[in-house]
Amino acid sequence: MVAPLAERMRPRTLDEYIGQSHLVGPGAVLRKAIESGRVPSFILWGPPGVGKTTLAGIIANQLKRPFHTLSAINSGVKDIRETIEKAKNQQFFNSPNPILFIDEIHRFSKSQQDSLLGAVERGIVTLIGATTENPSFEVISALLSRSQVYVLQHLSKEELIQLVDSAIVGDEYLKEKDIKIEEYDALLMYSGGDARKLLNILELVCNQINEGESLTINNALVKELVQSNLAIYDKSGEMHYDLASAFIKSIRGSDPNAAVYYLARMIEGGEDIKFIARRIIISASEDIGLANPNALLMANTAFQAATAVGLPEARIILSQATVYLATSPKSNASYLAIKKAQSLVRETGNLPIPLAIRNAPTKLLRQLDYGKNYQYAHDHQGNFVEMEFLPEDIKGTTFYDPGSNSAESRTREQLRKLWKDKYGY
Predicted local distance difference test score (pLDDT) of residue 229? 63
Q: Walk across the sheet containing 42-45 and list its strands.
A: 67-71, 99-103, 126-131, 42-45, 148-151
Stretch 213-239: mean pLDDT: 71
Mean pLDDT along residues 82-91: 82
| Cα 364 off chain centre by | 46
Q: Is the dihedral of CA 67, 50, 241, 207 positive or negative?
A: negative
Q: What is the DSSP letter of 235?
A: T
Q: What is the pLDDT of residue 113?
A: 87
Whether residue 276 has pLDDT greater than 70: yes
Q: Which pLDDT score, from 0 to 100, does residue 232 have?
A: 46
Residue 228 is predicted with a pLDDT of 66
Note the residue count of the chain. 425
- Out of 107-116, 167-176, 319-328, the most confident range is 319-328
By the 10 Å C-beta count (0-12 exposed, 13-18 middle, 19+ buried), 312 is classed as exposed
The full set of domains in the chain, from first to last, is 19-151 (3.40.50.300), 157-232 (1.10.8), 239-326 (1.20.272.10), 351-419 (1.10.3710)
Query: What is the pLDDT averaged over residues 4-33?
Result: 91
Is the predicted pLDDT of residue 319 greater than 90, yes or no?
Answer: yes
Overall average pLDDT of the 262-273 stretch: 85
pLDDT at 304 over 60: yes
pLDDT at residue 92, rounded to an integer: 66
Pick from 62, 59, 140: nearest CA to 100: 59
| SS3 assignment, position 332 | coil
Average pLDDT of the residues of the chain: 87
Higher pLDDT, 17 or 228: 17
Number of Cβ atoms within 10 Å of the Cβ of 373: 10
On the question of pLDDT at 293 being above 50, the answer is yes
DSSP 380: S
pLDDT at 235: 46
Q: How far is CA 339 from the centre of its chain?
A: 19
Q: Note the pLDDT of residue 367.
A: 83
Q: What is the pLDDT averaged over residues 208-218?
A: 82
157: Cα within 13 Å, side-chain hemisphere: 5
C-alpha to C-alpha distance for 128 and 56, rounded to whole angstroms = 7
- What gap in Å lies between CA 399 and CA 340, rounded to an integer? 6
Predicted pLDDT of residue 1: 66
Residue 93 φ then ψ, to 5° = 50, -115
